[in-house]
Amino acid sequence: MSEAVLHVTVLGSTGSIGKNTLDVMARHPGRYRVFALSARQDWQTLLQQCQQFQPVYAVLTDPQAAKPLQDALVTAKLPTEVLVGDDALVAIAEDARTDCVMAAIVGAAGLPSALAAARAGKRVLLANKESLVLAGALFMAAVRDHGATLLPIDSEHNAIFQCMPAGYRAGMRAAHVEKILLTASGGPFRGCSGADLVAVTPEQACKHPKWSMGRKISVDSATLMNKGLEIIEACWLFDMPESAIEVLVHPQSIVHSLVAYADGSVLAQLGQPDMRTPIAYGLAWPERIPAGVPALDLLAAGKLEFEAPDESVFPCLRLAREAFRAGGVAPVYLNAANEVAVAAFLDRQIGFMDIPALVEQALSAVPAVTQLSLETLLAADTEARQRVSAEVAG
Ligand code: NAD
Ligand code: MG
């Protein structure tokens, strides 16, 4: 191995993407070293990760969880220093000693640290799609202006990136790409009617047929809001209009997305539904490394099917397109309303079909904000959350 070791910060290391990232890194100990890890409050998992990877820093954003981690690290005679709070996330993302940042916090909470990594010119492995939904223009400008290397980790966007012309970098408009075909598994409720969905439970919504993921994105996959957020994510990453992003339901989740060129060629990336493939791609780009993923057996997979999404049952696709076209803080409202509604659904306070209803309602009252900075975007996020929370409580 000729290159230097890559020092990696994993934001959200105790989550589904975070654990998969550490799994891939552990397969290549000579190539990657963990610089810092972070979690909200799960200090036990963070402790295990500190034992295995001995990072310089471990960050907890919940101050209550910091003391037990600190004590356990001292007892275990581990050198890792514990930092606390949201500012510490930004600090480990922009630290001069880290080369690469995996942004794998869930929700809008992941924006400030992901943006800090971009502004510090890091190699940014972006799983936190919400960053681009909230702050696409700001984020892509930061990547460009600070020479960051942005590698999409969301499986569809990683697939699209892989199908782009040689030399392609995120944010560029690729010549002669006419369309992006974004695949969707369809989630656990594919083929259901609106009436079928009224009484579904969080357990049913989180039981994804193909992917094992955190609870928030699992519910987003069930409402198809995940695909809505991904349409917006694709517009920013690939500098394409929303009208050029077509959603195709593909229940087998083997074709991870496709790119249609002007000469009639359509390129696709195929693989097992295992996030370690896009994660390994991001870690090693422009090289390739083993990811621990079994080889794809197309004969065992059998059929690959494609169908149109049913937007009458799953209105979130339309809502996301409308929010993107409206611009300003409309996507912030879309995302905030969705986060509050999903949390309320997981908490059994509202029904499944109340999620799109609350998002639609929030989108009908978006204030006009023209100056889009991190501060104004976060203020809009807070305001939208307050309004939707009041709606849920009322
Ligand atoms: P998860 O819920 O499994 O993990 C979330 C991580 O973020 C945890 O480490 C948690 O401690 C941390 N976290 C949560 N709230 C926080 C807060 N307020 N402040 C700081 N840290 C916080 O989520 P996940 O499924 O790993 O998803 C992470 C991100 O990756 C999401 O944006 C999701 O959309 C995206 N993504 C996930 C998958 C997947 O397969 N899981 C695929 C594509 C994209
Ligand atoms: Mg995805």
Distance 104 CA to ligand 1 centre (A): 5
Which atom of ligand 1 is nearest to 216's Cα? Answer: 2
- Domain co-membership, 82 together with 137: yes
Residue 172 domain flag: no
Residues 246 and 329 in one domain: yes
Q: Angle at the Cα of 200 (from 194 to 202), degrees rounded to 5?
A: 135
Residue 394 scores a pLDDT above 90: no
The total of structural domains in the chain comes to: 2
Tell which one of 24, 105, 230 to mutate to probe ligand 1, the residue whose CB is within 8 A of the most ligand atoms.
Answer: 105
Please check whether residue 289 lies inside any domain of the structure.
Answer: no
How far away, in angstroms, is 105 Cα from ligand 1 center?
A: 4
Domain residue limits at 188: 177-269+300-386
User: Best substitution site from 217, 221, 275, 279 to test ligand 1's pocket, by max atoms within 8 Å of Cβ?
Assistant: 217
- We report the CATH number of the domain holding residue 19 as 3.40.50.720
How close is the Cα of 300 to the center of ligand 1, in Å?
Answer: 31
Task: Please state the rounded mean pLDDT for residues 298-307.
Answer: 96
| Residue 12 CA to ligand 1 centre (angstroms) | 6
Indicate if 137 and 205 belong to the same structural domain.
no
Whether 291 is in a domain gets the answer: no
Count CA atoms within 13 Å of residue 190 on its CB side. Answer: 19
CB 11 within 8 A of CB 105: yes
pLDDT of residue 1: 46
DSSP H/E element including 6: strand 6-11
Minimum CA distance residue for ligand 1 atom 41: 213
109 and 64 both lie in a single domain: yes
- Considering the domain architecture, whether residues 369 and 229 belong to the same structural domain is answered as yes
Closest-CA residue, ligand 1 atom 18, reads 109
**Residue 145: inside a domain, yes or no?**
yes
Among the bound ligands, the one closest to the CA of 12: 1
Average pLDDT, the chain: 97
pLDDT of 65 over the 90 cut: yes
Please say whether the dihedral angle defined by the alpha carbons of residues 367, 369, 373 and 379, taken in this order, is positive or negative: negative
Q: Decide if pLDDT at 142 tops 50.
A: yes
Provide the b/e sequence for 336-349 (b: ≥16 CB within 10 Å): bbbbbbbbbbbeee
Give me the pLDDT at residue 3, please. Answer: 66
| Position 162 in a domain | no
Report the relative pairing of strands 81-84 and 100-103 from DSSP bridges: unpaired
Question: Which residues fall inside 5 Å of ion ligand 2, going by CB?
Answer: 154-156
pLDDT of residue 211: 83
Q: What is the pLDDT, as a whole number, of residue 210?
A: 85
Q: Give the phi and the psi of residue 196 in degrees, each rounded to 5.
A: -60, -30
Asked whether residue 213 is assigned to any structural domain, the reply reads yes
CATH number of the domain encompassing residue 307: 1.10.1740.10
Does residue 374 carry a pLDDT above 80? yes
* Ligand number nearest to the C-alpha of 187: 2
Residues 64 and 207 occupy one common structural domain: no
For residue 2, pLDDT beyond 70: no
Q: Which residues line ligand 1 (CB under 6 A)?
A: 12-18, 39-40, 42, 61, 104-106, 109, 127-130, 154, 211, 213-214, 216-217, 275
What are the φ and ψ backbone dihedral angles of 134, each rounded to 5 degrees? -75, -45
Average pLDDT estimate for 80-87: 98
Pair (16, 136) in one structural domain: yes
Which among 102, 106, 206, 221 is the best mutation to test ligand 1's pocket, defined by most ligand atoms within 8 Å of the CB? Answer: 106
Element (H, E) at 37: strand 32-39
Asked if residue 294 belongs to a domain, the reply is no
Note whether residue 393 is domain-resident: no
- The residue from 153, 186, 221 where one domain ends is 153
In whole angstroms, what is the distance from residue 348 CA to residue 65 CA? 26
Ligand 2 centroid from CA 163, angstroms: 16
Residues 207 and 349 in one domain: yes
The pLDDT tens digits for 236-257 are: 999 999 999 999 999 999 999 9
Q: Same domain, yes or no, for 350 and 308? A: yes
- Where does the pLDDT of residue 375 fall: very low under 50, low under 70, confident under 90, or very high at 90 and above? very high
pLDDT digits (tens, 9 = 90+) for 154-188: 999 999 999 999 999 999 999 999 999 999 999 99
308, pLDDT greater than 60: yes
User: If you take atom 9 of ligand 1, which residue's CA is the nearest one?
Assistant: 12
